[in-house]
Amino acid sequence: MQNAKDTFYITLRNRLTQVNPARTILLRSVTRPGILVEEAESPMALPVLDAFTLRWTGLAILPQLPLPLAQMTCEIYYSTAGTQPNSGLDRGRALEEMDAELQQMLSPQCAPKLNYTTTPPGAMLTSIFWSEPEFQPAVPLRDQISRTALVTVWSWQEAGER
Amino acid sequence: MCADLSTQIPCGRALRVAASLLRACGGTTAYLQVPPLTGDQNDTGQIGIDPPNLQLLPLSPAVFHKMRTDLLLPNQPQRYELRISAEAVAAQVAQRQLASASSLFSMASGVIVAGRLFMIEATSSFEDQGEVYLYRILLRDAASSWPLQNPQAGPQS
């Protein structure tokens, strides 16, 4: 499952650099594309604005198939307070822009699975694939507006894979 | 309505008094856990494979104490309070060439006091004549309690 989670994140991150190269964050002294895995970062008191946060929640294994199929739920959370020149009054537009970017990042809905514990990352035999995003209602909170999109990711469990 | 145009010349009095009081009240050293100046650019650094190589920035004098339990809500984890001299914070901000103390605290992943790791809940500051003289950091116990390996993180005398 971990290979699938890593592959999903790296795929989305690489696609984000194509979709909107200007969306970057400074995290742990590195300027990188504006997407992060929540469980791989230090706990944060406040979510990072104008960035996508991947949060892995649901997990199910479907065993009645030629290979066990792992089905994982990824919550993609993003929030924005708009831009300073517009005094935050464009936060709705900024959120819509992030909705569109996420939709582009998630298409096509598959990627070859890689093992990132080796250097360079090792290609595996199968691919991961995922569902269309289920956009949840936008949540306004004072000067911010946020949304969560739910994506189901499937991955074949290859022999020897944990 | 008009601006306050009275002359106020900060002389650092509050800053020195705060530092002296913290020392007199049993000042200790707290270590702020921050990422290294040159971060990990690799993919493996972003997916939890590479160790983050966090650095420990000493902040002293500081006073650390438990918050009163009657101020906590039921089932709320124990909170702690750390008061740090603004002189110490300013020195670290200047050394790391940061814009402000809030940048320093926002990049910190935790605070180590007497060999124990705490998570930062909130920070606030006290000012006198527009000059910060004391920082107050609200902490809670970290869920993890692995032994800290850095010798700097040992119990303070």
Are the C-beta atoms of residues A39 and A9 closer than 8 Å to each other? no
Closest CA to A31 of B17, B38, B119: B38
Whether A47 has its CB under 8 Å from any CB of chain B: the answer is no
Residue B151: pLDDT over 50: no
CATH of domain A2-156: 3.30.2000.30
Tens of pLDDT along A59-75?
999 888 888 999 999 99
What are the b/e assignments for B70-95, b being 16+ CB within 10 Å? eeeeeeeeebbebbbbbbbbbebbee
Q: Which residues of B touch A38 (CB under 8 A)?
A: none
Least confident of A23-32, A93-102, B54-63, B65-74: B65-74
Mean pLDDT value of segment B34-38? 88
Q: How confident is the model at residue B157 (pLDDT cuts 50, 70, 90)?
A: very low
Query: B43, B97, B107, B140: which to substitute to probe chain A, counting the most A Cβ within 10 Å?
Result: B43
Which among A30, A36, A114 is the top mutation candidate for probing chain B, defined by the most B β-carbons within 10 Å of its own β-carbon? A30
The answer for residues whose C-beta is within 8 angstroms of residue A61's C-beta and 6 or more apart is: A68, A69, A70, A71, A157
CB proximity B37 to A under 8 Å: yes
Contact A42 B109 (CB under 8 A): yes
pLDDT at B67: 83
Pick from A110, A4, A112, A99: which is nearest to A52 by CA? A99
Nearest chain B CA: its distance from A46 CA (Å): 10
Which residues of A fall within a CB distance of 8 Å from B49? 116-117
* The predicted structure's pLDDT at residue B155: 43
Cβ of B51 under 8 Å from any chain A Cβ?
no
The pLDDT score that the predictor gives to residue B145 is: 64
Min Cα–Cα distance to chain B from A26, Å: 10
For the segment A133-143, the average pLDDT, to the nearest whole number, is 94
pLDDT at B69 over 80: no
Q: How far is A30 from chain B, CA to nearest CA, in Å?
A: 5
Closest residue to B38, CB basis, from A29, A37, A119: A29
Q: What pLDDT is stored for residue A42 in this prediction?
A: 86
Label residue B46 exposed, middle or buried (CB < 10 Å: 0-12, 13-18, 19+).
buried
Which DSSP category does A82 fall into?
-
User: Domain boundaries in chain B?
Assistant: 13-36+53-144
User: Which pLDDT does position A134 carry in this prediction?
Assistant: 96
Of A132-146, B41-55, B64-78, give the lowest mean pLDDT range. Answer: B64-78
Q: Using a CB–CB cutoff of 8 Å, tell me whether B107 touches chain A.
A: yes
Least confident of A121-125, B129-133, B142-146: B142-146
> pLDDT at position B154, please?
47
| pLDDT band (50, 70, 90) for residue A40 | very high
pLDDT-derived band of residue B147, with 50, 70 and 90 as boundaries?
low
| Sign of torsion over alpha carbons B5, B8, B9, B14 | negative
Q: Give the helix/strand (H/E) hosting A100.
A: helix A91-105
* pLDDT score recorded for residue B152: 54
> ipTM of this model?
0.83
User: Phi, psi at residue B131, to the nearest 5°?
Assistant: -120, 125
Confidence of residue B150 (pLDDT cuts 50, 70, 90): low
- Alpha carbon distances (Å) from B108 to A75, A111, B33: 25, 35, 5
Model confidence pLDDT, tens digit, residues A9-23? 999 999 999 999 999
Across A26-30, A118-122, A144-148, which has the greatest mean pLDDT? A144-148
Chain B contact set for A5 (CB, 8 A): 47
| Per-residue H/E/C for B55-105 | EEEEEEEEEEEECCHHHCCCCCCCEEEEEEEHHHHHHHHHHCCCCCHHHHH
Which chain B residue's Cα is nearest to A48? Answer: B106
Boundaries of every domain in chain A: 2-156
Average pLDDT taken over every residue of chain B: 85
* A10: contact with B, CB 8 A cutoff: yes
The sign of the CA dihedral A145, A83, B35, B154 is: negative
Q: What percent of chain B is predicted at pLDDT more than 90?
A: 36
Percent of chain A residues topping a pLDDT of 90: 77
Coil vs helix vs strand at B31: strand
